[in-house]
Copies of this chain bind each other. A is one copy, B any other.
């Protein structure tokens, strides 16, 4: 029975999905004494023939969210975690192909990066450098994210990052803008430009016979190119910087067709210290107030000419 076929139902079910969110799975791989970490937060969302559970509470088509949790942990052991994307692809395929009522699976993943910690020189001499290969510190910079969707025919793989906070302390101006009756802002020819980058990009790979990208390398390269553009753009607006970051990624990475950014303008206001007899010019090295709220918020999609825009506007909601 589908919603639409019911003769008398005045209120019907629309898009729906369910699953276990935020499964915190850590997989250690041991290569002799050298250990490796993958540290993920995995969320499962399944869709399909789910009218009955909504209309009557019958769970006969419902794989419990607890089971989806178990599957995440079991798959981490059975298949390992080569990359967030590869892990998500396995999971999405499993749910759609093993459960008839499930027609679509969406796996969202956050990954937290860890760096190796060194031993002291004295210790290294004593115990041998190879003996301490199991100590790590959380890197703490951006969080890598991925979303893998599978409908039984095609995959869609989005990769991204959030909380990558960057700053140019000069080479940024803002002037020549519209002035209406509510405009009081002064033009600025030497300002700080700082933002916390949230971004999602879409891979052209959709499964089948195509060879998938080397996901970890693709991530590192996309991140690198976007940062290069941030560094090298003399900025007249944050929008201009955003477009440069996006186009640099797409021009350099054939496996990526579309990228969306949400970039808050983390305002650093240069203070007026004249009341205290102090100049505070940017050129001399200034003091700034780092503001929290409100903040400018610049959001845009950048895509390869001819590509379809598929990343939802609301994915990058702050």
Is A212 part of the binding interface, using a Cβ–Cβ cutoff of 8 Å? Answer: no
How distant is A269 from chain B, measured CB to nearest CB, in Å? 10
The answer to whether A165 touches B137 (Cβ under 8 A) is: yes
Interface string of A273-289 (1 = CB under 8 A from B): 10110101011111111
The answer to whether B59 touches A21 (Cβ under 8 A) is: no
For A70, give its contact among B27, B170, B183 (CB under 8 Å). Answer: B183
Is A293 part of the binding interface, using a Cβ–Cβ cutoff of 8 Å? Answer: yes
Contacts of A96 in B (CB 8 A): none
The answer to whether A309 touches B178 (Cβ under 8 A) is: no
How many copies of this chain sit in the oligomeric assembly?
4
The answer to whether A57 touches B236 (Cβ under 8 A) is: yes
For A137, give its contact among B17, B136, B164, B243 (CB under 8 Å). Answer: B164
9 inter-chain pairs at a CB distance below 8 angstroms, sorted by A residue, are A20-B294, A56-B236, A70-B184, A70-B275, A77-B280, A120-B225, A123-B228, A137-B164, A315-B317
The answer to whether A14 touches B258 (Cβ under 8 A) is: yes
The answer to whether A25 touches B287 (Cβ under 8 A) is: yes
For A169, give its contact among B59, B61, B136, B139 (CB under 8 Å). Answer: B136
Besides A11-B247, A25-B287, 10 new A-B residue pairs in contact (Cβ under 8 A), listed by A number = A11-B304, A14-B309, A17-B313, A26-B192, A26-B290, A28-B282, A37-B169, A57-B236, A78-B278, A117-B230
Is A207 part of the binding interface, using a Cβ–Cβ cutoff of 8 Å? Answer: no
Interface band, chain A: 35 or more
Is A86 part of the binding interface, using a Cβ–Cβ cutoff of 8 Å? Answer: no
Interface string of A297-311 (1 = CB under 8 A from B): 111111111000100
Contacts of A37 in B (CB 8 A): 167, 169
Please measure, in the bound complex, the distance between the C-alpha atom of A152 and the C-alpha atom of B260, giving whole angstroms. Answer: 26
How distant is A20 from chain B, measured CB to nearest CB, in Å? 5
Supposing A11-B302, A30-B284, A185-B66 touch, asked if A25 and B180 sit within 8 A by C-beta, the answer is no
Supposing A134-B171, A280-B77 touch, asked if A300 and B250 sit within 8 A by C-beta, the answer is no
For A166, give its contact among B57, B138, B251 (CB under 8 Å). Answer: B138
